[in-house]
Amino acid sequence: MEYEKLAIIANAKLQDAIQLAQKMIRIRSLSGEEKEMAELVGATMQALSYDKITVDEAGNVIGLIKGTGGGRSIMFNCHLDTVDCGELSRWKHHPFAGDVSDGTLWGLGASDTKGAFACQIIAAAALKQAGLLPQGDVYVVGVVHEETSGFGSTFLAPKLSTDIVVLGEASDNQIKVGHRGRMQFDIHLEGKSTHASAPNRGINPHYSAARILLSLESLLLKSDSFFGVSSVAPTLYMTDQTSSNVTPGEVVLSLDWRNIPIETEEEIQGLLKELVNKCLQPGVLAEIELKMRDVTCYTGHKGRALAGEPSFATPPHDSDVLHAQAILEKAFQHEVEIDICQFATDGGHFRSRGSKVIIFSPSEEKYCHTSEDSVLIAKMEEAILGNMVLALGLSKSI
Domain range list for the chain = 3-179+309-394, 183-294
Which of 344, 331, 313 has its CA nearest to residue 394? 331
Residue 1's pLDDT is what? 84
Residue 254's pLDDT is what? 97
pLDDT per position as a tens digit, 77-119: 999 999 999 999 999 999 999 999 999 999 999 999 999 999 9
CATH class of 183-294: alpha beta
Distance CA 213, CA 271 (A): 14
Distance CA 393, CA 1 (A): 8
Q: What is the mean pLDDT of the chain?
A: 96
Which of 14, 13, 61, 11 has its CA nearest to residue 36? 61
Residues linked to residue 123 through DSSP beta bridges, in sequence order: none
Q: What percent of the chain has pLDDT over 90?
A: 97
The answer for residues whose C-beta is within 8 angstroms of residue 267's C-beta and 6 or more apart is 222
Q: Is the pTM of this model over 0.75?
A: yes
Residue 398's pLDDT is what? 61
CATH superfamily of 3-179+309-394: Zn peptidases (3.40.630.10)
* Helices and strands (DSSP H and E) totals, the chain: 9, 23
pLDDT per position as a tens digit, 293-351: 999 999 999 999 998 899 999 999 999 999 999 999 999 999 999 999 999 999 999 99
